[in-house]
Amino acid sequence: MKLAIVGLQWGDEGKGKVVDYLARDFDYDVRFQGGSNAGHTVQYQGKKYIFHLIPCGLLNKNVIGVIGTGCVFDPAVFVGELGDLKTYDPDVEKRIKISKFAHLIMPYHVLLDKIREETTQGIGTTKRGIGNAYEDKYGRVGIRVGDLYYPEQFKEKLKANISRKNVILMEIYHAEPLSETEIYEQYMEYAEKLRPMIADETTILAGAVGKNIIFEGAQGSLLDIDFGTYPFVTSSHTIAGSVSIGCGLPSVCVEKVYGITKAYTTRVGLGPFPTENEDAMGKNLRDVGKEYGATTGRPRRCGPFDVEVVKYAARLSGVTEIVLTKFDVLGSLKTILVSIGYKNADGFDPFLASRLEPVYKEVPGFMTDISHIRKFVDLPAQAKDYVHLVEEYTNLKVKYISVGPDRDAMIKV
């Protein structure tokens, strides 16, 4: 089976938990876009693991994790994350492949992202240098992971980049210039540490005939560079169409796509969010759902489930089955609002996103802790009704329901 996992909202849908849960049946877990802006939280055996860059299926020791070509790769973050993961599996390095085609995030990307966010209006990025690294990639001046192993070539590219970036840093932002030598030495050290993991993932995956591959999307469909709420988006394609170019497999490689959606909606960073709720409901969701960014710690904006957003995202990725996450969080609400459409539009349209007026349906809450429940039949009637309502309005089948952060807190419907 070749299965893609994509988020149907603005990220943080719980893709990490779903990948960790499903990965026991897979041989490979491939990240195909994004970088250390991702914040996938996985709780296993009472311990919380936060993955930013490393594929989070790796807690399953049968899995080989691949960081694909479509990703932007920050070696500093990777080395730190690897250290944490080694406390779980000292041999985890043997199960990680990093694409030599992936672009490197350099210190100037991170610095410029921070400065731009702090000195201009900004869009509320994670300040991880993601957009800046993709800018260089598409501007054809980026440096790739594979360049690390040709030191002269790496040095030349670094020199050209540093001279341009230092002009921007000094002339526009009146900041200190960066040292080419320091960065060179630092990256040569990383190169040695990373050497056993560097690969051409396209040949590995092409040879994985008959193997099960899970493609782990990061961020969410509404953060897609083209189809999201531009310009308040990330700099990569977050929809399932991105899998193929993100790891070099033919476009027919994906057999199935699961869409992951919270039972409500959240967004972190700036930009339109039609069902944002700043009243008691939104506050309750934030408190009970512990809605704070895994990468930045920022409080997430919260609101009701938006049927049209999920339908829009599902269409873009060919999703027919969804995983409904954080369902237990709704257990503290007396009544639950669901947006079933808009007064002023037929469906979700990113160009209208800041002006859309949701039409709400109010349904009774289930007012009980459902986090221990593992079978759909055991859910309270109002909870079952909510799931059926989501299915009816989105025209999508709910395949799994997550009722808590632990791996086994999952209901197969």
**Site residues, ligand IMP (CB under 6 A):** 11-12, 37-39, 123-126, 128, 130-131, 218-219, 223, 232, 234-235, 268-269
Q: Which is nearer to ligand IMP, 131 or 331 (CB)?
A: 131
Tokens 């030495």 locate to 185
Residue 246 · residue 240 · CB < 8 Å: no
Pick the catalytic residue from 29, 40, 74, 224: 40
Q: Which is nearer to ligand IMP, 11 or 304 (CB)?
A: 11
**Shortest separation between residue 185's beta carbon and ligand IMP, angstroms:** 27
- C-alpha torsion angle, residues 228, 234, 239, 242 (rounded to 10): 130
Q: Which residues contact residue 45 at a Cβ distance below 8 angstroms, ignoring those fewer than 6 apart?
A: none
Alpha-carbon distance of 177 to 110, in angstroms, equals 14
Q: Which is nearer to ligand IMP, 335 or 354 (CB)?
A: 354
Q: Which is nearer to ligand IMP, 12 or 20 (CB)?
A: 12
Q: Which is nearer to ligand IMP, 7 or 65 (CB)?
A: 7
**Shortest separation between residue 311's beta carbon and ligand IMP, angstroms:** 20
**Shortest separation between residue 271's beta carbon and ligand IMP, angstroms:** 6
Residue 367 · residue 293 · CB < 8 Å: no
**Shortest separation between residue 207's beta carbon and ligand IMP, angstroms:** 30
Q: Residue of minimal CB distance from ligand IMP?
A: 269
Give all strands (DSSP E) within 9-95, no chain letters: 28-31, 40-44, 47-51, 64-67, 72-73
Q: Which is nearer to ligand IMP, 35 or 404 (CB)?
A: 35
**Shortest separation between residue 368's beta carbon and ligand IMP, angstroms:** 29
The vertex-295 CA angle with 143 and 327, nearest 5°, equals 130
Q: Which is nearer to ligand IMP, 221 or 333 (CB)?
A: 221
Structure tokens at 325: 């996450």
Q: What is the CA radius of gyration of the chain?
A: 21
**Shortest separation between residue 391's beta carbon and ligand IMP, angstroms:** 25
Alpha-carbon distance of 343 to 288, in angstroms, equals 30
43: helix, strand or coil: strand
Structure tokens at 393: 């309005």
Alpha-carbon distance of 4 to 30, in angstroms, equals 9
One-letter amino acid for residue 324 of the chain = L
**Shortest separation between residue 60's beta carbon and ligand IMP, angstroms:** 21
Q: Give yes or no: 29 in active site.
A: no
Q: Which is nearer to ligand IMP, 234 or 277 (CB)?
A: 234
The vertex-46 CA angle with 29 and 403, nearest 5°, equals 75
314 by Cβ neighbours in 10 Å (0-12 / 13-18 / 19+) ranks as buried
Q: How many residues does the chain have?
A: 413
Q: Which residues contact residue 162 at a Cβ distance below 8 angstroms, ignoring those fewer than 6 apart?
A: 108, 178, 180, 183
**Shortest separation between residue 4's beta carbon and ligand IMP, angstroms:** 17
Alpha-carbon distance of 136 to 105, in angstroms, equals 10
The phi, psi pair for 69, rounded to 5°, reads -55, -35
Q: Give yes or no: 40 in active site.
A: yes
Active-site amino acid positions: 12, 40
